[in-house]
Amino acid sequence: MEEKSKKASESRAHQKMPHYNGTKSFARLRQEIDEIKKLKEQRDQGLNDKTDEKIFQDVLGKDTHGYLRAYGPGKSITQHFKVKPSRLDLSQELIEVKKKVDQLIEEARKDAENARMEAEKAKKEVEAIRNDVDRKIEQNNAIWEKKFHQLMNFIKGGTYSNDDVSGNESSS
C-alpha cells in the first residue's frame, strides 16, 4: 500500500496544474458549467434578469459562513474583497430598491386609474345608448297608444283620421 501511495505522490508532483476540484466529478462540473452558460444565454435573450452572481448562486448554491466558492480553500469574503460592505452601502442599496418598488407601485396606480377612466367612459356610452333606446320605446308607445285610441274611437262610432297616424309614423 505504501508503494502505491508513493507512486501517486510522485505522479501528482509532476502535474503542471494541481487538481482542486475536490470530490466533485468532472461530469458534474461540466453539467454545472453548461447550466451556467444556459442561464447566461437566457439572460442575453431576455428570458431572465439574473446577475452573474445570482446565476452562480442558483447553480452552485449559496456561499455559507462567509466563505466564497471557487476561490480555493479558506478564502473568505473579506479576504477577497478586502472590505466588508458598510452600512452605508447597504442602506444605499436599500434606498435604490425602495425607489424601484415605489416606481412600480406608481405605474400600477396609473394603470388602475386608466382602467377606471376607460370603464367610466364605457359606462357613459352604455348609459347614452340605454337613454336612446328608452326614448325610442317611449315614442313607439305613444304612437301605439294614439293608434289604439283612434281604433277605439272608430269602434265606438267615431271617425278615423289617417292624417294623424301617418304623421306620427313618418317621425319614427
Q: How many domains does the chain have?
A: 1
CA distance linking residue 140 with residue 40, whole number of Å: 71
Closest alpha carbon to 153 in 164, 169, 166: 164
Determine, yes or no, domain membership for 14.
yes
Mean pLDDT of 138-157: 91
pLDDT, the chain, mean: 81
> Cα Rg for the chain, rounded, in angstroms?
42
* Residue 60 domain-assigned (yes or no): yes
* Domain annotation covers residue 98: no
Q: Is 70 inside a domain boundary?
A: yes
Are 52 and 58 in contact by the 8 Å Cβ rule? The answer is no
Pick the range with the lowest mean pLDDT from 30-44, 79-93, 131-145.
Answer: 79-93
- C-alpha–C-alpha distance, residues 71 and 83, integer Å: 17
Supply the pTM of this predicted model.
0.35
Task: Give yes or no for residue 122 having a pLDDT over 90.
Answer: yes
Q: Rounded to an integer, what distance in angstroms lies between the CA atom of residue 123 and that of residue 77?
A: 61
* Separation CA 45–CA 158 (nearest Å): 87
| Position 168 in a domain | no
Q: Which of 59-63, 97-101, 105-109 has the lowest mean pLDDT?
A: 59-63
CA distance 163 to 169: 10
Q: Specify if 89 maps to a domain.
A: no
CB burial readout 147-160, b (16+ within 10 A) else e: eeebeeeeeeeeee
Percentage of the chain with pLDDT > 90? Answer: 33
Q: d(Cα 80, Cα 71) in Å, to the nearest integer?
A: 9
Does residue 155 belong to any structural domain of this protein? Answer: no
Query: Is residue 115 a part of any domain in this protein?
Result: no
Chain centroid, CA 89 distance in Å: 29
Which residues form the domain of 80?
1-84
Give the pLDDT confidence score for residue 164 in this predicted structure: 47
| Distance from chain centroid for Cα 19 | 45
d(CA 95, CA 101): 10
pLDDT tens string 4-24: 888 888 887 777 766 666 677
User: How much is the pLDDT for 77?
Assistant: 61
Asked if 12 contacts 36 with a C-beta cutoff of 8 angstroms, the reply is no
